[in-house]
Amino acid sequence: MREEIDISVVIEGNVKYRNSEEKLTLHYLKARGLNLLTGKGQDIEGFSLALVLFTYTDVDLHFVSSNERNDLNSLWGNSPNERYYLIEGLKTMPLDAFELPDLNFSTSKLFESRLGMIYEAINSNSIAHMMIQNMSDKQSFLDQIKGKIFSVRYIDKYNRSELSLRLMLQFIEEFKKEAEINVDKFVVLLNNIDFQNGSYPSRIFDNYYEVKDYEYDLNHISEDLAFSVSLECVEKHLPHYRLFEFSSVDMQFNIRIDGGIAHGFKVLDSSMELRMKNEIFQIRKYVNHDIIYNLRIL
């Protein structure tokens, strides 16, 4: 469906960037076919213009909302807290293309890997291997990090299930082998607030109900790994992007994953129960679109 729809994101007001990753987000969206436009602050009787749909009948549908910021997700239009209203007879205003921010680093330090169609089941610990094999200019990247010792952090607000937890640990374990690096410490960043919706999990892909349950499993599943693993619970909201951050005494790089480590993968047996060990299991890629990994040397 999404390949058949042209999507434009209208950006209102002056954009303030807190870091380079936020600038890169807009560059990545543009590179992947999303149209970015500059809004004109259109206001209808005190309501913000939230969405415009361009139909095949040449009749544009304009929706307004009393909320300034609503998520465009599967619940759009069905939440009692987010009301949308169709306004008839409104004229669509022409908008200019959004000017992308300047990047304060060389794009030669950017590397990309894509996982396309995978028709058979794979081992849960093979994601890092496939990512490296599909990298652009793979050897140039590996030569710069080989033999170094890194501390690693993973930032992912949706990293809340046992499936995500296990894939995350196995990704780091296999990546360090494939890239011939050492990892001395791995820290997982999460926010307790993100766990306060839902119920207790019954299957591996269900979210944990409480962050302390996630931490309990994390400590037990990782105890046989060669590097220390810990959870850092932060008070501030985590960013939307998902990121592995690698830091050594003389360099840094990161791996940014579209949708997070578990995005696009399902377990082969949804009823399976694993021991509290770092066990390998079978997964499959169930989405048709590419899963994209962007690697950047800082």
HSE, CB side, 13 Å, CA atoms: give it for residue 195: 22
The model carries a pTM of 0.78
Q: What is the pLDDT of residue 75?
A: 61
User: Which is nearest to 231 in space by CA: 214, 245, 243?
Assistant: 214
> In the chain, what are the domain boundaries?
2-97, 107-297
Residue 2 reports pLDDT greater than 70 = no
Q: What is the pLDDT of residue 15?
A: 82
Residue 192 reports pLDDT greater than 80 = yes
152, 246 in Cβ contact below 8 A?
A: yes
Work out the pLDDT band at 86, boundaries 50, 70, 90.
Answer: confident
- Spell out the alpha helix ranges (H) of the chain: 20-31, 127-133, 138-145, 162-178, 211-221
Q: What is the mean pLDDT of residues 50-71?
A: 74
Q: Is 24 exposed, middle or buried (0-12, 13-18, 19+ CB in 10 A)?
A: buried
Say which CATH class 107-297 falls into.
alpha beta
Q: Is 83 exposed, middle or buried (0-12, 13-18, 19+ CB in 10 A)?
A: middle
**What is d(CA 247, CA 232) in angstroms, rounded to the nearest whole number?**
17
Mean pLDDT score across all residues of the chain: 87
Read off the pLDDT of residues 111-164 as tens digits, 9 standing for 90 and up: 999 999 999 999 999 999 999 999 988 999 999 999 999 999 999 999 999 999
**What is d(CA 166, CA 86) in angstroms, rounded to the nearest whole number?**
44
210, 195 in Cβ contact below 8 A?
A: yes
**What is d(CA 131, CA 175) in angstroms, rounded to the nearest whole number?**
9
**What is d(CA 195, CA 160) in angstroms, rounded to the nearest whole number?**
7
Instruction: Give CA 288 to chain center in angstroms.
Output: 17
Radius of gyration of the chain (CA): 21
With both helix axes pointing from N to C terminus, report the angle between 162-178 and 211-221 in degrees, rounded to the nearest 10: 40
Q: What is the pLDDT of residue 1?
A: 42
Q: What is the mean pLDDT of residues 78-92?
A: 75
Work out the pLDDT band at 91, boundaries 50, 70, 90.
Answer: confident
Cα angle for residues 39, 157, 50 (degrees, 5° grid): 25
Top mean pLDDT of 67-71, 94-98, 128-132, 232-236 is at: 128-132
Read off the pLDDT of residues 251-280 as tens digits, 9 standing for 90 and up: 999 999 988 999 999 999 988 889 999 999
Q: What is the pLDDT of residue 158?
A: 93
Q: Measured between alpha carbons, how far is residue 274 from residues 40, 160, 214 in Å?
A: 53, 17, 15
DSSP state of 107: G
Polymer length in residues for the chain: 298
**Residue appearing with tokens 């949708």:** 259
